[in-house]
């Protein structure tokens, strides 16, 4: 239902799940016809993709993020909760889902020893680089 640019979120769990699927499915999608990608999203994810999505962008993380963006209204008498969203908030929420997924991917790469990380005080941000020791171990050829 639309009212002055605001939309009522009728099914919060389904809305959040659809939004995270959208972010996951379109992450890294380049040079594809948007309608083809959207059709693939509607068709669903493979079991492997579902597992990867759950690992990289969990529903619980997305629920916390979404509730920070959505406008909440509580009915005075019934105490029923309704959530509202507009185009600007939706865009910001999807960008936040995407940032969280990138953060989770980097965290996994660091935990797996494929990347090194440190905090750079000058940049006031984390920096990442390839773990040279790990790269050299994999490139060493076997000898007879």
Q: If DSSP states are collapsed to H, E and C, what string results for the chain? A: CEECCEEEECCHHHHHHHHHHHHHHHCCCCCCCHHHHHHHHHHCCCHHHHHHHHHHCCHHHHHHHHHHHCEEEECCCCCCEEEEECHHHHHHHHHHHHHHHHHHHHHHHHHCCCEEEEEECCCCEEEEEECHHHHHHHHCCCCC
pTM beyond 0.85, yes or no: no
Q: How does the average pLDDT of the chain come out, rounded?
A: 84
**46-72 mean pLDDT:** 95
Is residue 135 over pLDDT 70?
Answer: no
Is residue 44 over pLDDT 80?
Answer: no
């Amino acid at each position: 239902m639309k009212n002055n640019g605001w939309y009522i979120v009728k099914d919060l769990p389904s809305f959040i799940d659809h939004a995270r699927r959208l972010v996951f499915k379109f992450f890294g999608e380049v040079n594809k016809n948007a309608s083809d990608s959207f059709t693939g999203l509607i068709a669903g994810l493979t079991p492997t993709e579902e597992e990867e999505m759950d690992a990289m962008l969990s529903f619980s993380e997305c629920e916390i993020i979404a509730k920070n963006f959505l406008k909440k209204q509580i009915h005075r008498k019934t105490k029923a909760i309704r959530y509202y969203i507009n185009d600007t908030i939706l865009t910001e929420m999807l960008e936040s889902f995407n940032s969280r997924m990138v953060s989770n991917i980097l965290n996994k790469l660091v935990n797996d020893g494929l990347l090194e990380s440190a905090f750079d005080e000058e940049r006031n941000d984390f920096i990442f680089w390839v773990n040279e020791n790990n790269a050299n171990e994999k490139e060493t050829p076997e000898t007879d």
